[in-house]
Amino acid sequence: MLIADATQRQTLEAANVHSASAVAVLTSDDLTNIETALAVRDYLGERWLTVPVVLRVFDRALGHTVEHHFDFRHVRSTSALAAPPVSSGPRWASTSSAPSPWAASRFWWAG
C-alpha cells in the first residue's frame, strides 16, 4: 500500500505507473480524481494514448465535461451507473431472466 500524493511524480514512480497496463483513479472526491488523472496523463507522456486511465466522478455533467474537454476516454459517473434513466425501462423486460447488473453498464474493468 502506498499512502502519498498521487499528483506528485515521485508517487507515480513509486506506484510503477510507468509500467502499468491501466490506471484507475477512484477516490471519493471528483476534483482530486481529475487532478490525479491529469498528473497521470502528463506522467505517461506518449503512453497516454495506449494506457487506459479510468476516472471516477460522481457528477454526470462534470464527467461529460472532463471526457470531452480533457480527452479522457474512460470517465465513469457513479451516479449515472447507479441510476440509469427511468424512461428507458428495464433492459431485460422482454427476456425470461434479468442479466447481471454489470452486463449493460459502461463500467470498464482492467484485468
**DSSP symbols for 33-78:** HHHHHHHHHHHHGGGGGTS-EEEEES-HHHHHHHHHHS--SEEEEH
Range of the domain at 67: 36-83
For residue 1, being part of any structural domain is answered with: no
> What total of structural domains would you count in the chain?
1
Q: Which residues of 45-74 are buried (b: 16+ CB within 10 A; e: fewer)?
A: eeeeeebebbbbbeeeebbeebbeeeebeb
Q: Is residue 77 part of a domain?
A: yes
> Is the pLDDT higher at 84 or at 67?
67
Residue 99 in any domain: the answer is no
pLDDT tens-digit series, residues 74-92: 998 877 777 655 555 555 4
Residues 29-56, mean pLDDT to the nearest whole number:
94
In the chain, pLDDT over 90 holds for what percent of residues?
59
Residue position matching grid coordinates 513509486? 14
